[in-house]
Structure 1
Amino acid sequence: MNFNIRYSIALLGIAALLHSCNEIDNFDEPDTLLTGHVGYQGDSIYLGNNEVEFQLWQSGFGKLTPLGVRLDQDGSFSARLFNGHYKLVFVKGQGPFRTNSVNDQQLDTISFDLKGDQQMAIEVSPYFMVRNTSFQKTTNSIGGSCSLEQIITDADAKAVERVTMYVNETQFVSDNGNFNDARADADISDLNSLNMTVELPEHLISKPYVFARIGVKISGIEDMIYSRVEKINF
């Protein structure tokens, strides 16, 4: 094979590769927005930021692979998707709550058709809810108090392992070490009256404000449930 023929074949190969890449680049991006929140009887479920997710399965596109959708601190979520039929499921062990059964056939799998932007409310049953939260600023510390309401009291009921108040200089506050600058545990002998005091580290005392919330670690459950994040001005 002479040089000109080999050179022509090489050019054809490069052209085919570029054409293939262009075809891949020309695929449409998903443009339908699914938004919503996870809640309980009208109350938001407050979580650690991006620590809990559910999976979306879409049929009709060959091999099925799930798309993970993570929940924000206030239990909200958003995802850009293609229109189509989806099944929504929480992976077992995800979240400080029990998912609700849709019916005897679907169990807790939520099926829905996405045709244009859509909002969705996902109702779950948390093991506990944090109630009556309040914070008080003193000179070098922040006091916090709350009570817990036990929601699940049947055979699936869980005990409280600890209740902790977290303080951070940003609005992202959780048990994750990157999202708290200080913390303090409560005496959990009386879940109707929980009190904590967090001593502020030096670098927070001079700040004009901090953010705080209270989290509940439930025995046997990885993900914690929290109160709403509160901004505390000094």
Structure 2
Amino acid sequence: MVLAGCELDNFDAPKAMLEGQVTYQGEPISVRSNSAEFQIWQDGYALNELIPVFIAQDGTYSVSLFEGEYKLVRRGGDPWLPQLNDTIVVQVSGNTQVDVPVTPYINISNENFQMNGSTLSANFQIDQIVADTNVQEISIMLSRNILLDRNINDFNKVIELESFEFGTSNSVAIEIPESLRDEGYLFVRIGAKSSMANELIYTHAQKIDL
């Protein structure tokens, strides 16, 4: 028998970093952690495969890449308009910072929270950004941990707003569950789902003292 050996090709690991955040009108957008993603492509190579880039709940992202030119695509299914034919060309060299603007279907603003005994009062406004969209769901979520969304929480209350209107201030009050009242503090977020999106858009997680 004759044994034929082969030598494996060794490649250096990528040393550059592309990072930034998702923004609307210069302000960061919050999502469910690892639910929304971008797609990155690099042309000119035999294996021209997409690189998925998942977005953290605070709207930040980071990915390790080789230096070079890439195309970043904002895909569909996220709480903002897909822009598949409007790619962002990014030149990655060393640590490269690129914020990615998006157009959400709806947006939550002017949120604030106040505690009165065991009652949490939440004030917020939802704006219609894309015409003809409606709000399918509004939720207030509580958690002992800062990682918090509709799927990861210790309490989730779907809010029924009979007289909801875009662009107006809304105020709701919820009772903190007895199982959470002795925690000392909790994290809270508001989430809202557009009729045109698969995912909710969120406020930033805020810490409240009980």
Same fold (TM over 0.5): yes
Query: Structure 1's 211 and 146: CA in aligned 2 closer, same or farther, altered over 3 A?
Result: same
Q: How many residues align?
A: 207
Corresponding residue of 1:98: 81
Match of 1:183 among 128, 147, 156: 156
Match of 1:166 among 136, 141, 165: 141
Corresponding residue of 1:62: 46
Match of 1:173, SS state, is coil
2:197 is equivalent to residue 200 of structure 1: no
CA distance in structure 2 between the aligned counterparts of 1:174 and 1:31, rounded to whole angstroms: 32
What amino acid does structure 2 have at the position aligned with 1:187?
L
Contact 1:53/1:68 (<8 A) preserved: yes
Match of 2:98, SS state, is strand
2:11 is equivalent to residue 27 of structure 1: yes
Q: Out of 47-56 and 133-142, give the one that drifted further.
A: 133-142
Corresponding residue of 1:112: 90
Question: Please, which runs of 5 or more residues in structure 1 have no aligned partner?
Answer: 1-5, 101-105
Match of 1:108, SS state, is strand
Q: Out of 112-121 and 162-171, give the one that drifted further.
A: 112-121
Match of 1:110, SS state, is strand
Q: How many angstroms does 1:99 deviate by? A: 4.7
CA distance in structure 2 between the aligned counterparts of 1:35 and 1:193, rounded to whole angstroms: 34
Q: How many angstroms does 1:137 deviate by? A: 1.7
Contact 2:76/2:82 (<8 A) preserved: no
Match of 2:20, SS state, is strand
Q: How many angstroms does 1:124 deviate by? A: 1.4
CA distance in structure 1 between the aligned counterparts of 2:124 and 2:96, rounded to whole angstroms: 35
Corresponding residue of 2:66: 82
What amino acid does structure 1 have at the position aligned with 2:139?
T
CA distance in structure 2 between the aligned counterparts of 1:28 and 1:60, rounded to whole angstroms: 18
Match of 2:49, SS state, is coil
Match of 2:86, SS state, is coil
Corresponding residue of 1:218: 194
Q: How many angstroms does 1:147 deviate by? A: 1.1
What amino acid does structure 2 have at the position aligned with 1:220?
M
CA distances 1:74-120 after superposition (whole Å, capped 9, x unpaired): 21110100112211112222x211256xxxxx941112222222110
Query: Structure 1's 201 and 111: CA in aligned 2 closer, same or farther, altered over 3 A?
Result: same
| Structure with more strand by fraction | 2
Contact 1:58/1:86 (<8 A) preserved: yes
The alignment yields a C-alpha RMSD, in angstroms, of 2.0
TM-score (normalised: structure 2): 0.89
CA distance in structure 2 between the aligned counterparts of 1:219 and 1:99, rounded to whole angstroms: 15
Larger relative contact order (Cα-Cα within 8 Å, sequence gap ≥ 6): 2
CA distance in structure 1 between the aligned counterparts of 2:93 and 2:207, rounded to whole angstroms: 38
Contact 1:210/1:233 (<8 A) preserved: yes
Question: Please, which runs of 5 or more residues in structure 2 have no aligned partner?
Answer: none
Match of 1:122 among 96, 100, 108: 100
| Structure with more helix by fraction | 1
TM-score (normalised: structure 1): 0.81
Q: How many angstroms does 1:198 deviate by? A: 3.2
Contact 1:135/1:142 (<8 A) preserved: yes
CA distance in structure 2 between the aligned counterparts of 1:214 and 1:166, rounded to whole angstroms: 6
